[in-house]
Chain A
Amino acid sequence: MTELRFKKTTEFDEEVYAVHPEDYRALLEALKAEGFDYPRSLTGMDTGYGLRVVVHLYGMESGKKATVYTDVPYDDPVVPSATDLWPGLEWFEREAYDLVGIRFAGHPDLRRILLEEDWTIHPLQKRYDTGGYLLPDWQPAPWPETPPWEEPEAREEGGEA
């Protein structure tokens, strides 16, 4: 997994991986091979500068927990689907598409799940208020100069030197 672009941290009792969207799928495959066989949850969320997918995994044998997340921009919110690795994520990905607007490439049946099929918006995005109306003065934050999967040592080492 050395060539994959990700940053691994430990938060509470979980391993948290922030991963580059292009390596998201490869990292999930590696984790699946490591024994994370149980899909606990998948969350889509709006970070203010883009959309984020968070996958919560659990190893039935090892009892280990892992969280993987990646960010994609608003104008191209596409991540590869992981339903073939964990079929249990099928509805979770549909929900993340429905409510947050993330598109999962390769998903077998990416339809809206909780909302009616004629909805045009994804209401959990921050640009909408609780009633589903566009917030007039909402502006996306700029894409971070150091995305979560890069953030780490480089900057700190530079500071120390």
Chain B
Amino acid sequence: MRGPTTITPVPGRTDEMILNMGPQHPATHGVLKVVLGLDGERITRAVPHIGFLHRNHEKIEEARTYIQIITYTDRMDYVSGLQNELPFILAVEDLLGVEVPKRAQYIRVIFFELYRIASHLVWLGTGMLDLGAITPFLYTFRDREKILEIAEKTAGARMLPNYFTFGGVRRDVHPEFFKDVAAFLDFFESRLPDYRALVLDSPVFQARAVGVGVLPKERAIARGASGPVLRASGVAYDVRKAEPYDAYPELEFEVPTRPEGDVYARFWVRFREMEESVKIIRQALEKVPKTGPYKGKVPPRIKPKPGARYRAVEISRGHLGAYVVSDGSEYPLRIKHRSPSFANLQLIPDLFVGARFADAIAILSSLDPVFGEVDR
């Protein structure tokens, strides 16, 4: 059992109710417990508890060889599985001094953005489910299925493909891959206006989202928020622009931001990101070399030189970092995964206190945490 909750009733105060939200609350998207103090509908105090899904990845990884660890990284943010492999791989590539061929870089970018769309679709469906709208869920999961099928054809697995590797990707793409992706983009682009009409333009949704859970810019930076949560507070920080990796420097895309910092802004930013991802993939499909190696020259036994390297990528939820410390052996000395939802969830007391209880659900789905990476 989890230790005692950290909210104790104020002596002599009878109007505050203490409520345990989670860890089995359906709107917590996994296993989050928040102990809330409620004064009527208003939240007076909020103490988040995490760790219910903790596996101590980092200790397990110290007892694995580098190539084995890639499988574990997939399992952090399982909704955008493939994206999680990249920061660790980039850090080890830096320590190894491995070059990634152009074709592999573009294949990585295409997969990376496909999984961003897949992840945002899950968020859109389940987020709207939290707010009481069931229709978007059915649409978004149908679309996501198409992405997972494309991934399955090439990588052999759907959610946790274990497809990226040091120096590139594990195997070349399926012969129909580029055709499939182009077909999906055409289909998906035709669907986006509908989703916009169903969600962003819906007055019912706007009534739940506009002005709710406002996060000021300075607080967002100081709290280490990242991803759409940070960008919805008016900070144009995107790792794809700030520390470009793979083929991103050669691709043109916008970083959508919004100054309001409320739930609506966070929904809006993710929506725009899906549109930008479509744009990125289209460019990558044009620019990807049609032939060439899909993997660079990598030593048969991965033994990075002694040293440490921190690399970050922009996954669907924000700044995912990996700090790899090597002592020159086949096993890492330490691997630290900096996960975006972990940092974003620190905002719970900031955003919950003062909000109404029903709005807490909306705020939580706008933060879009995935507990596989929060708890690791």
Please report A residues at the B interface, Cβ cutoff 8 Å: 11-14, 37-41, 43, 45-47, 54, 56, 58, 60, 63, 65, 67, 86-92, 95, 99, 111-118, 123-124, 130
Give the residue among B50, B225, B345 with the most A Cβ atoms within 10 A.
B50
Main SS class of interface, B: mixed
**Do B221 and A37 have beta carbons less than 8 Å apart?**
yes
B45-69, CB < 8 A from A: 50-51, 54, 56, 58-60, 62-63
A11-B308, A117-B3, A130-B60 given; name 8 further pairs at CB < 8 Å.
A41-B338, A60-B237, A91-B343, A91-B345, A99-B56, A113-B50, A115-B51, A123-B59
Q: Mark B225-239, 1 if CB is under 8 A from A, else 0.
A: 100000000010100
Whole-angstrom CA separation of A37 from B3 in the bound complex: 34
**Do A40 and B3 have beta carbons less than 8 Å apart?**
no
**Do A41 and B334 have beta carbons less than 8 Å apart?**
no
Whole-angstrom CA separation of A124 from B323 in the bound complex: 15
Which B residues lie within 8 Å of A63 (CB)? 242
Provide 18 A-B residue pairs closer than 8 Å at the C-beta atoms, listed in order of the A residue. Answer: A37-B221, A37-B222, A38-B224, A40-B312, A41-B310, A41-B323, A43-B334, A45-B333, A46-B334, A56-B310, A56-B338, A63-B242, A86-B222, A88-B343, A92-B343, A111-B6, A117-B2, A124-B59
**Do B223 and A87 have beta carbons less than 8 Å apart?**
yes
Whole-angstrom distance between the Cβ of A104 and the nearest chain B Cβ: 15
Tell whether B342 is near chain A: CB-to-CB under 8 Å: yes
Going nearest first, the 6 A-B pairs with the smallest beta carbon separation are: A88-B224, A117-B3, A41-B338, A114-B51, A43-B336, A45-B334
**Do B56 and A123 have beta carbons less than 8 Å apart?**
yes
Contact check: which of A41, A47, A65 meets B336 at CB < 8 Å?
A: A41
Which A residues lie within 8 Å of B221 (CB)? 37-38, 60
**Do B323 and A54 have beta carbons less than 8 Å apart?**
yes
**Do B323 and A43 have beta carbons less than 8 Å apart?**
yes
Whole-angstrom CA separation of A147 from B2 in the bound complex: 40
- Given A38-B237, A41-B323, A114-B222 contact (CB < 8 Å): no
**Do B310 and A118 have beta carbons less than 8 Å apart?**
no
Tell whether B346 is near chain A: CB-to-CB under 8 Å: yes
Whole-angstrom distance between the Cβ of A81 and the nearest chain B Cβ: 15
**Do B375 and A114 have beta carbons less than 8 Å apart?**
yes
Tell whether B309 is near chain A: CB-to-CB under 8 Å: yes
B333-354, CB < 8 A from A: 333-334, 336, 338, 342-343, 345-346
**Do B343 and A60 have beta carbons less than 8 Å apart?**
no
Give the residue among A39, A45, A99 with the most B Cβ atoms within 10 A.
A45
Q: Smallest CB-CB separation from B218: which chain A residue?
A: A37
Contact check: which of B3, B6, B224 meets A118 at CB < 8 Å?
A: B3
**Do B321 and A41 have beta carbons less than 8 Å apart?**
yes
Whole-angstrom CA separation of A125 from B223 in the bound complex: 28
- Given A86-B224, A118-B3, A45-B325 contact (CB < 8 Å): yes
Whole-angstrom CA separation of A41 from B62 in the bound complex: 19
Whole-angstrom CA separation of A157 from B376 in the bound complex: 46
Whole-angstrom distance between the Cβ of A64 and the nearest chain B Cβ: 11
**Do A14 and B343 have beta carbons less than 8 Å apart?**
no
**Do A88 and B346 have beta carbons less than 8 Å apart?**
yes
Tell whether B319 is near chain A: CB-to-CB under 8 Å: yes
Whole-angstrom CA separation of A88 from B235 in the bound complex: 16
Which A residues lie within 8 Å of B333 (CB)? 45, 47
**Do A90 and B346 have beta carbons less than 8 Å apart?**
yes
Whole-angstrom CA separation of A62 from B105 in the bound complex: 27
Contact check: which of B54, B225, B307 meets A115 at CB < 8 Å?
A: B54
